[in-house]
């Protein structure tokens, strides 16, 4: 009576799915990005990206004048990286392609054999271990040759990106089923152009950031449309964008309106055009920036408008939503005449708000990073309310430390507390979270913080030419969560927390 046995097994599987178990199809992964791990900045015909230029031109803007010239040497050590991913039992590994390694002049008429070989090797090695590759097309490293034409502020960048995306889809799409077009446009648009702390290092607050924002939305959309038209029927993959969203909450009950405006500036500018039925900019922000621009004496808005056609092009270009979640801020109205620093680091002079933190949020030892796990659930619920019942993949979540501790209890606690909130979002709020990605598989070049800030489950010895990778407690913990598909793990690390 095999059917009875099967029924009993499936009923009991159903029954034993406890509160601390993840849904059956839930997937776990870890992430890195090309510039942060590959090194080999000038090897095999690769040309410079804006990060190569940035670190070489302004060494003083990076802690210890660090560069990604060698980084984790993943260009040579990709086999080891796949080993680490496999030791952890990852379902998928999220990495990014270096545009200027694959297309050294930025354009699709010169595909690098070396670049092709490198990414083919990595993809094939992952698949051999039954690890799905999840590929980000753009993680902050624009070819310098395209920056020379204005980079993300030139509207042609949307087509340059789309042509690059087509090359990647056609080379790797037979094996890659998950694609992220752009990683965190808020970082390479708002942080970059408002503060200059990210490549290309130009400061153009309230202007460059908005031009970049619009062009990034169009670039994403064009790549998505190409996948849809030319590849989907053959390859049947999924494509989206990964947005970083700090949870923003009202400082006091009087700041609720300010907080909602700020959410529209942080999340809305990169989600509303894609994930809503209306498309286009969040109306409240579009109106405010138009008014501000008028006050500035401009006969047009600093926020470039979308045409009807562009709204249609961008709207609905997603198969799921990618979310990078780390930290939170409070929001309050700025006082009249109060000096306001750059968005999204300190505040926004366009919407007249100031960001802060609560004293009870523990700082990680990294300037921008305060821990508030409950915010994760609030963020997921807000996204569902705002954009509907869409599938969400956590494309990054993780914890920074500034010390070398291999027994990284704070990081284990962070994963546990944040995964608990993910489970609550799924079980209590009905948010359709598909999976979770740890940033990062290993320590790597943490942008302007160089190697002084560490996110890795594996410690990397940057003093050794071997770039030796050593698992931390967090690697052990994450592996047991994945294996058990649950937070109910018998793990000695948990007992020590
Ligand atoms: C993500 O950025 C990135 O996708 C990833 O590459 C990165 O390594 C990871 O998270 C950890 O940071 O020093 O005040 O200028 C998260 C957003 C943007 C947060 C840059 C830190 C610098 C703040 N990051 N930001 S500041």
Distance CA 286, CA 393 (A): 28
- Is 70 a pocket residue for ligand 1 (Cβ < 6 Å)? no
Residues 6+ apart with CB under 8 A from 328: 246, 247, 248, 249, 357, 361, 370, 372, 375
Distance 447 CA to ligand 1 centre (A): 7
Residue from 38, 249, 396, 446 carrying the catalytic annotation = 396
The model's pTM is 0.96
Q: What is the predicted pLDDT for the residue at 9?
A: 47
- What 8-state DSSP symbol labels residue 29? E
Q: What is the predicted pLDDT for the residue at 399?
A: 97
The gap from C-alpha 411 to its chain's centroid, in whole angstroms, comes to: 19
Residues 6+ apart with CB under 8 A from 102: 111, 112, 115, 116, 119, 164, 167, 168
- Is 33 a pocket residue for ligand 1 (Cβ < 6 Å)? yes
Distance 184 CA to ligand 1 centre (A): 9
Q: What is the pLDDT along the chain (497 residues), one digit of tens a residue?
A: 444 554 544 454 555 689 999 999 999 999 999 999 999 999 999 999 999 999 999 999 999 999 999 999 999 999 999 999 999 999 999 999 999 999 999 999 999 999 999 999 999 999 999 999 999 999 999 999 999 999 999 999 999 999 999 999 999 999 999 999 999 999 999 999 999 999 999 999 999 999 999 999 999 999 999 999 999 999 999 999 999 999 999 999 999 999 999 999 999 999 999 999 999 999 999 999 999 999 999 999 999 999 999 999 999 999 999 999 999 999 999 999 999 999 999 999 999 999 999 999 999 879 999 999 999 999 999 999 999 999 999 999 999 988 778 889 999 999 999 999 999 999 999 999 999 999 999 999 999 999 999 999 999 999 999 999 999 999 999 999 999 999 999 767 777 78
Distance CA 289, CA 302 (A): 7
Distance CA 493, CA 177 (A): 34
Q: Which of 136, 267, 439, 455 to mutate to test the pocket of ligand 1 (most atoms within 8 A of CB)?
A: 439
Q: What is the predicted pLDDT for the residue at 8?
A: 47
Q: Where are the domains of the chain?
A: 2-496
- Which protein residue's CA is at the shortest distance from atom 26 of ligand 1? 368
Q: Between β-strands 362-363 and 370-371, what pairing exists: parallel, antiparallel or unpaired?
A: antiparallel
Distance 422 CA to ligand 1 centre (A): 21
Distances 190 to 317, 334, 464 between C-alpha atoms, Å: 22, 19, 36
Terminal CA-CA length for the chain: 47
Q: What is the predicted pLDDT for the residue at 295?
A: 97
- Which protein residue's CA is at the shortest distance from atom 18 of ligand 1? 187
Alpha-helical runs (H) found in 97-255: 99-102, 113-128, 144-147, 157-172, 185, 192-195, 208-226, 232-235
Q: Is 83 labeled as catalytic in the residue annotation?
A: no
Distance 446 CA to ligand 1 centre (A): 7
Distance CA 94, CA 339 (A): 40
Count of other CB atoms within 10 angstroms of residue 250:
17
The gap from C-alpha 232 to its chain's centroid, in whole angstroms, comes to: 23
What's domain 2-496's superfamily in CATH? Glycosidases (3.20.20.80)
Distance CA 441, CA 134 (A): 14
The residue assigned the tokens 């659930």 is 377
- Is 244 a pocket residue for ligand 1 (Cβ < 6 Å)? yes
Stretch (H or E) spanning 471? strand 469-471
Stretch (H or E) spanning 88? helix 74-88
- Is 455 a pocket residue for ligand 1 (Cβ < 6 Å)? yes
Q: What is the predicted pLDDT for the residue at 2?
A: 45
User: Prior bond to 200 cis, omega within 30?
Assistant: yes
Distance 435 CA to ligand 1 centre (A): 21
134 is written with which tokens? 């999840």
List, for residues 376-426, the tens digit of each pLDDT value. 999 999 999 999 999 999 999 999 988 778 889 999 999 999 999 999 999
Distance CA 236, CA 238 (A): 7
Q: What is the predicted pLDDT for the residue at 13?
A: 53
Q: Which of 58, 180, 241, 396 to mutate to test the pocket of ligand 1 (most atoms within 8 A of CB)?
A: 396
Residue from 38, 184, 249, 286 carrying the catalytic annotation = 184
- Is 310 a pocket residue for ligand 1 (Cβ < 6 Å)? no
Q: Is 38 labeled as catalytic in the residue annotation?
A: no
Residues 6+ apart with CB under 8 A from 455: 398, 399, 400, 401, 439, 440, 443, 444, 446
- Is 446 a pocket residue for ligand 1 (Cβ < 6 Å)? yes
- Is 368 a pocket residue for ligand 1 (Cβ < 6 Å)? yes
- Is 346 a pocket residue for ligand 1 (Cβ < 6 Å)? no
In 3D, which of 392, 381, 254, 398 has the Cα closest to residue 330? 254
- Is 184 a pocket residue for ligand 1 (Cβ < 6 Å)? yes
Q: Between β-strands 238-244 and 178-183, what pairing exists: parallel, antiparallel or unpaired?
A: parallel
Q: What is the predicted pLDDT for the residue at 407?
A: 87
């Amino acid at each position: 009576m095999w059917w009875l046995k099967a029924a009993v097994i499936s009923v009991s599987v159903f029954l034993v799915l406890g509160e601390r178990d993840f849904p059956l199809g839930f997937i776990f992964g870890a992430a890195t990005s090309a510039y942060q791990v590959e090194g080999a900045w000038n090897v095999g015909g690769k040309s410079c990206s804006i990060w190569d230029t940035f670190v070489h031109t302004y060494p003083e803007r990076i802690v210890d004048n660090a560069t990604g010239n060698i980084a984790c040497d993943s260009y040579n050590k990709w086999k080891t990286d796949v080993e680490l991913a496999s030791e952890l039992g990852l379902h998928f590994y999220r990495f990014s392609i270096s545009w200027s390694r694959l297309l050294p002049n930025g354009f699709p008429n010169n595909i690098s054999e070396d670049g092709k070989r490198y990414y083919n090797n990595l993809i094939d090695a992952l698949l051999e271990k039954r690890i799905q590759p999840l590929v980000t097309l753009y993680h902050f490293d624009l070819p310098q040759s395209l920056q020379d034409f204005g980079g993300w502020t030139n509207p042609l960048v949307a087509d340059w990106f789309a042509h690059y995306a087509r090359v990647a889809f056609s080379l790797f799409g037979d094996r890659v089923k998950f694609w992220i077009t752009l990683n965190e446009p808020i970082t390479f648009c708002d942080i970059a152009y408002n503060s200059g702390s990210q490549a290309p290092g130009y400061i153009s607050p309230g202007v460059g950031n908005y031009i970049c924002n619009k062009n990034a939305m169009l670039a994403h959309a064009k790549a998505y449309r190409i996948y849809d038209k030319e590849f989907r029927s053959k390859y049947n993959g999924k494509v989206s964008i990964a947005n970083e969203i700090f949870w923003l909450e009202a400082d006091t009950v009087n700041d609720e309106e300010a907080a909602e405006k700020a959410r529209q500036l942080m999340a809305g500018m990169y989600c509303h055009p894609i994930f809503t039925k209306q498309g286009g900019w969040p109306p409240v922000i579009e109106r405010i920036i138009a008014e501000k621009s008028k006050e500035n004496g401009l006969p047009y808005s600093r926020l470039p408008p979308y045409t009807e056609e562009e709204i249609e092009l961008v709207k609905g270009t997603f198969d799921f939503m990618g979310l990078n979640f780390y930290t939170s801020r409070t929001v309050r109205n700025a006082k009249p005449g109060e000096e306001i620093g750059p968005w999204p680091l300190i505040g926004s002079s366009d919407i007249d708000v100031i960001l802060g933190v609560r004293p009870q949020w523990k700082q990680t030892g990294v300037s921008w990073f305060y821990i508030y796990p409950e915010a994760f659930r609030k963020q997921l619920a807000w996204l569902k309310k705002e954009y509907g019942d869409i599938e969400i993949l956590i494309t990054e979540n993780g914890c920074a430390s500034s010390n070398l501790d291999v027994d990284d209890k704070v990081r284990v606690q962070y994963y546990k507390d944040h995964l608990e909130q993910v489970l609550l979002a799924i079980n209590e709020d009905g948010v359709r979270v598909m999976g979770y990605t740890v940033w990062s598989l290993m320590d790597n070049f943490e942008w302007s913080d160089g190697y002084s800030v560490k996110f890795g489950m594996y410690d990397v010895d940057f003093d050794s030419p071997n770039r030796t990778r050593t698992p931390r407690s967090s690697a052990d913990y994450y592996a047991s969560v994945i294996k058990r598909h649950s937070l109910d793990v018998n793990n000695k690390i948990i007992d020590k927390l």
